[in-house]
Chains A and B, each alone.
Chain A
């Protein structure tokens, strides 16, 4: 089984709808991250969490919120989806050491109509 899983893998929604993307990990890592990937822009950090009680905004947090339900679970919500939130979304985890490796999930492809 994969160490980092994301659900759903693909989602089509309409402008104004609220949606939630979920991430689960079995690696036992404290740190979790949400990124979005757009062609030509690479990966941009939306939110990150260094432990269950810690939530931090990344460089593009507007229009998004997160919830860290447990060490293993980190959810990303779009409160009112808009078309420019159409992107590939990745969850990642890391142990928390310096020079750390980040382990990525398979991604969720989101289309907002």
Chain B
């Protein structure tokens, strides 16, 4: 059983549409991170959220950390083919000093 549950597992949308990926847990995290991974490469950090209720924006990407620090979401506005990839959430439990990863959401944006 994974500490972080991501949904959906797969998402295929048309260019210009919006999408949301969810990351949920019953555990409380000191911080939560989102990574993006492209084929043949390792994951690359997109953002870290650390405060309950925090919202961070990175161009067309909006990240939210739940008030209770148990969940997070990633919203992409007007998706582009370049957004295609595997999106992974990862959480650090207080004083654990390690990351637990979700299973990932594979996003495909069709031109």
B101 is an interface residue with CB less than 8 A from chain A: yes
By a CB distance below 8 angstroms, the chain A residues around B98 are: 33, 45, 48, 58
By a CB distance below 8 angstroms, the chain B residues around A84 are: none
Q: Which single member of B9, B40, B50 contacts A99 (CB below 8 Å)? A: B50
Contact A44 B101 (CB under 8 A): yes
Contact A43 B101 (CB under 8 A): yes
A90 is an interface residue with CB less than 8 A from chain B: yes
Shortest distance from the beta carbon of A95 to any chain B beta carbon, whole Å: 12
| Size range of the chain B interface in the assembly | 20 to 34
By a CB distance below 8 angstroms, the chain A residues around B90 are: 43, 102
Contact B45 A101 (CB under 8 A): yes
| Size range of the chain A interface in the assembly | 20 to 34
A-B pairs with beta carbons under 8 Å apart, 28 shown: A4-B42, A33-B98, A40-B9, A40-B103, A41-B2, A42-B6, A42-B101, A42-B102, A42-B103, A42-B104, A43-B43, A43-B88, A45-B99, A45-B100, A58-B98, A90-B42, A90-B43, A92-B42, A98-B30, A99-B33, A99-B48, A101-B33, A101-B45, A102-B90, A102-B99, A106-B41, A107-B41, A107-B42
- Name the 10 nearest CB pairs between A and B, nearest first: A104-B42, A42-B103, A99-B31, A43-B101, A42-B101, A101-B45, A42-B104, A104-B43, A99-B48, A90-B42
